[in-house]
Structure 1
Amino acid sequence: MIWVCRLLLENGIKLGQSGLRFPQGGNRTIVFLIGNLRCGEPAWESLYKNVLDFNSADLGLVVGASDDKYNDASLWKRAKYIFREKEYDDWGDALDTLNIDGWRENVEPRVQGRAREAGVLGGVKGHKTSGAIQNMMRYWLAEHIRELKLTEKYDRFIVTRTDQFYMCPYDISDFPNNAIVVPEGEDWGAINDRHFTVSKDSILDALDVLPPFLRNDYSNETFYAIESPEHLLLAAWNHHNLQLHRTPRNMFTCMAKDGDMRRTGDVPYGFFAGGQEHEGIMIKYETEYWWARATCSSRLTRDGNAHKKDKTMTMASVEAMEKTIQDLTNRSLVKDWEIWWREKMLTEKVWTPRTYKDQLLEHWEKLESHALSLNSTKPQSKTLVNFIHRKTKLEDENDIVVTMQASASQAKLNNLISNLRKWDGPGSVALYIQSAEDVEFFSEWLSNYTIAYYLRECNVHIMMEKITDFSDYPEPTMQWTYPYNTLRNLALENTGSDYFLLLDVDLVITPNSHATVREIMKNDPQIIDKMRRKRTMFVLPAFEVCPDGMTQSPTRFATEDDLPLTKAELVKKVEDGVAWVFYVDVDVKNQGSTQSEKWYNFTDASSYAIDWELNYEPYVIGYLPGVPRFWTAIRGYGYDKVSWFHELYRAGYTMNVLRDLFVVHLCHPRTPIKVDWDMWPNTRKFIEFDPFLMAKYGNCRDWCSSSPDPWSTKCGWDSCAQCRECINDETCPKDCKETVSVPWEKRCAWGLCVGKCPACLEFY
């Protein structure tokens, strides 16, 4: 202990009056306050009562060495650990002590524009505000935790500031151990950086904010997305794969009565209280104050006691919200900023009286009860369109907005988020719920702040379905019952834009694909013209990448590190034998029409035309108005996309392959699917599909008879190829004619034969 004290003193750290007192017995939580002392005793008393005493927590301070404004503050006496850190005129000198070579040459000059104004490196000469100062304090705190081995003494760490007023108890007993817990609040496009709670296993990673940034560990995509200290914090936590969890806000940021109430930058005055007082201190951000008030009103009775157990938290929250809205409505709204703020609170619902789980569970229980009461073998479903609305507006000066449509089962959610991150544009996502367990899972997933950040540009839709009879399926698993096409329609019909990208989330797009697509469409107006007027779909060639080469049982899985970022990199991987056309080892026709050998060296134009063949399943960008919907009679494995492309062909759509875009499947062991295709339900349904298309589109258009062109010409038209005059023995495929063991009635239901063999004319 004597050696530790000497080390601390040599580093300029001042001990509390009682020296270093390690927790004895049950105190396994510690609160660290970072930064200079602010606000005053009323705020600190609320900290003692509602955080420290309520959670039996210890207190530590990490403050500047020259902070002497509050020499008599009770914090000095209450703290068990006091670390006083050197302060700098230019905090770039502090960053130099991290011994990270080249940060001044390679990182600091790239912090420009909004990032410089908002203070990502605030405190460094030429940078505004205090972002670097705050993160250096976090770095020093991490060093002290290591030196004193505090992770052996504490299970939970709360890292916050001295200017927080706690309106009611901050109960951390139910906080998850595997996530950083952050109060709901104004996040400035990323994550609120004033308060977080974390376990001993993650505290050092949570504090490791500056070093990865200064080492230039981030991709250009991530680096230039960091526009504020809040963005930097979120990027660091994502870098360390830390999960986020939100908790209702019960605190607000405050100032002492003699504090600085200036408006900063272009922040609307509505974020500031403009001088309102609460229990001896000034409210800084009125949004936070009303939010905390709504939270605490839901937890306490008017006497300050906890609500009775028979009154649910949701009911209490609803009552508190109604009371808060009433109070706001009764106020004298005479200032523009008050009107602006009130509209923001009500339209954006900055407090959530009902959680995702509450809402989804209510819908699920009603659906399940209804399905069971019917005693029907038919699945019962309910659709929640735009269950979560995108948080951004779809704007483009050239009206070119392409929305990625996708659906994902629980097993593919990581793929979904990876694609949304790379797409970096609007999405339309359909999720499927089949049980109460699914409700629990998706509620937690949607509530995770990291997930919410990547869904910010998405409309999220929910399809609930209760299946009571699984007799039509080989087994009651998602592989056979998953309604791929219904979910695709749900996402497609609610994209919110005219253009869409059809993508299976198993395939990975390249970074910034949305911007690349828009640039291609902007530079080549013929692409838009072909989509809108000539019914053309544009194909993104699909490839598979595997470090072990082509095998269905790779010993090494491909990761995003194996993902080629450019066409040249992909072609090189193909030449090296670690990339190839997707599914070529299973079914050549799956991607065969793309003509990949041509694509590798094609430079003549932005795209080239191809001919569709049956069983071709590309990934495409298209124009939504008029596009046929997916055939929902098919569900589970097999024929789901094939049927859609089959209808596109019959509806007169053509296809072009884009020169500069592609998608990649990262290899993993494939699950063998053993099925008797002759008996498989989707095979029988697909046989029924061609007569459906013939009834929908006709087997011979009216203009075929009225046109003066000779039949030798008209029979070359897609719309006339199935006219009686065009069908003869030569148009009938060999397999159709020679499969004599199957009667013509069945052969004429094959897509290979229908509309091509004279014998089928009597059936259709």
Structure 2
Amino acid sequence: MLPVATSKGEKPTCADDTRPGTTYGKVRLPNLKVESVLRSQQPRDKNDITIITQCSLDRLYMLEEQCNTWQGLTSVAVYYPLYIFQSTNADRLREAITTVENFHEQIDRSHGKCRMDIVLLSEVIKPHDEWSYPYNALRNHALVRSETDVLLLLDADFLVSEGVHEALTATDKAAALMEDLTANKKIIVLPAFETPRTLSEETGKSYALQAQASTKAELKSMFDEGKIIQFADFYPVGHGSSNYKKWFSSEGTEPYPITYKTGYEPYVLVNRRTVPWYDERFRGYGWDKVMQIYHMDAAAFHFVSHPNAWVMHRPHPNSAGYNRSFTGEAYSTNHKPTDHMMKMEKIAHGMMDELKVGTYPDVGVTQLAACREKWSGGKDTSKPKLVWW
């Protein structure tokens, strides 16, 4: 086994301390317990960029696929539910820890410059609540363990286009990127694509890998041929503001501003010191990323496109949360939101109202609020005048 840093036998960091269950309003936040912390033993660079992501234990394979397209750091929170009153929890948890440790060892040994930090988190839930996945609480645990100043907020089922990491982390480019994100309050959007859902999973995976490795011109050809499409086009507002037509026609070195519209949820490059926390009241499916992006817009950040970078969704079976939200008689017959979706929507509108009048907590709604000062670090006063595109 490689020597790895774990939570066992070490002085706990802020994020690793045991926390009592808390509520905001009438909503109880997820109560996650840190079971293991594994850090890559490979060299690190201060100019690197860290992907912030999360997944369940059964989707570790997605992290490996993502790692193949990202020669940088990844901070990932892995979720493992335990079931209330079940005598097998201890044995299952030991198996989960072993699985994650073995996976981490394999990644650190065999994936080149891809360096991955993993935190395994458990939560005791009722068996019928397994679909209620705590996306945002997991994202916050990945955020708080990040160390680089620039982060890429991305889901585990996405591949990053060829050469992006190398282009952005060159010494002069990294300094200029940090300047844009800090002094100019920029949020850099990477347009997201997927393959048509009418394709077989095998064909979709093949097209996704081809698109990830393409040039922008080759990507446009695939788009025009219908091999790839705008991500989540069934929810056009989610990525429509990225303006795919304009992105394809834009010059290779020229970004353009993006006009935010409520519901927008792109994948973005952000400054670790200023990015808002994810609101942990959102779990299951719906409004989770939407409201974090809404928070950024309310904080007067400016969204701009990256002209040469994109992310590509790799097809996979639907999650339990997705199936609970978008299948079943209530939705398929009447196309009405489920009770859970209506609850999430109510929280979202309440959060919007709070942000408009300035009563939403500065640290956001998270059990990790006390970690903010240590996590964000000191103020960066360097202001290089460079063009990072």
| TM-score, normalised via structure 1 length | 0.38
Aligned-partner SS, 2:123: strand
Cα distance in 1 for partners of 2:81, 2:58 equals 14
Note if 1:483 corresponds to 2:113: no
- Displacement of 1:512 in angstroms is 4.4
User: Aligned residue pairs: how many?
Assistant: 318
> Any residues of structure 2 matched to 1:255-654 within 5 Å, and which?
380-383=31-34, 387-395=37-45, 399-435=46-82, 436=89, 437-448=92-103, 449-453=105-109, 454=111, 457-467=115-125, 475-477=128-130, 479=131, 481-519=132-170, 522-523=172-173, 527-545=177-195, 550-552=196-198, 554=200, 556-560=202-206, 562-564=209-211, 565=213, 566-584=215-233, 586-603=234-251, 605-654=253-302
- Displacement of 1:679 in angstroms is 3.1
Supply the AA of the counterpart residue of 1:518: T
The higher-RCO structure (CA 8 Å, 6+ apart) is 2
Stretches of structure 2 lacking an aligned partner (at least 5 in a row) = 11-17, 22-27, 83-88, 361-389
**Contact 2:149-2:178 at 8 Å conserved across structures:** no
Matching residue within 339, 346, 366 for 1:679? 339
Supply the AA of the counterpart residue of 2:260: W
Aligned twin of 2:350? 688
- Displacement of 1:668 in angstroms is 4.9
**Contact 1:557-1:666 at 8 Å conserved across structures:** no
Supply the AA of the counterpart residue of 1:572: S
Stretches of structure 1 lacking an aligned partner (at least 5 in a row) = 1-183, 186-347, 360-366, 372-376, 699-764
Cα 1:553–1:411 shift into 2, 3 Å: farther
Aligned-partner SS, 2:58: helix
Cα distance in 2 for partners of 1:419, 1:522 equals 26
**Contact 1:557-1:667 at 8 Å conserved across structures:** no
- Displacement of 1:598 in angstroms is 1.0
- Displacement of 1:535 in angstroms is 1.3
Cα 1:534–1:668 shift into 2, 3 Å: same
Cα distance in 2 for partners of 1:381, 1:490 equals 9
Cα 1:381–1:599 shift into 2, 3 Å: closer
Aligned twin of 1:160? none
Aligned-partner SS, 1:613: coil
Supply the AA of the counterpart residue of 1:487: L
Cα 1:458–1:596 shift into 2, 3 Å: same
Cα distance in 2 for partners of 1:616, 1:600 equals 19
Cα 1:602–1:438 shift into 2, 3 Å: farther
Supply the AA of the counterpart residue of 1:447: N
- Displacement of 1:523 in angstroms is 4.3
Aligned twin of 2:374? none
Structure with greater Cα Rg: 1
Cα distance in 1 for partners of 2:34, 2:61 equals 23
- Displacement of 1:643 in angstroms is 0.7
Cα 1:660–1:379 shift into 2, 3 Å: closer
Cα 1:659–1:379 shift into 2, 3 Å: closer
- Displacement of 1:440 in angstroms is 1.3
**Contact 1:591-1:618 at 8 Å conserved across structures:** yes
- % identical aligned pairs: 23
Cα 1:695–1:443 shift into 2, 3 Å: farther
- Displacement of 1:490 in angstroms is 1.0
**Contact 1:541-1:657 at 8 Å conserved across structures:** yes
Cα 1:557–1:445 shift into 2, 3 Å: farther
**Contact 1:581-1:591 at 8 Å conserved across structures:** yes
Residue deviations 1:601-651, cap 9 Å, x none? 211634221111111111111111122100111111000000100100001
Supply the AA of the counterpart residue of 2:232: Y
Aligned twin of 1:85? none
**Contact 1:650-1:697 at 8 Å conserved across structures:** no
Aligned-partner SS, 1:558: helix
Cα distance in 2 for partners of 1:686, 1:458 equals 32
Cα 1:525–1:444 shift into 2, 3 Å: closer
- Displacement of 1:447 in angstroms is 1.7
Cα 1:525–1:393 shift into 2, 3 Å: closer
Aligned-partner SS, 1:622: strand
Aligned-partner SS, 1:645: helix
Aligned-partner SS, 1:463: strand
Where has structure 1 moved over 6 Å in runs of 4 or more? 355-359
Cα distance in 2 for partners of 1:378, 1:623 equals 26
**Contact 1:554-1:668 at 8 Å conserved across structures:** no
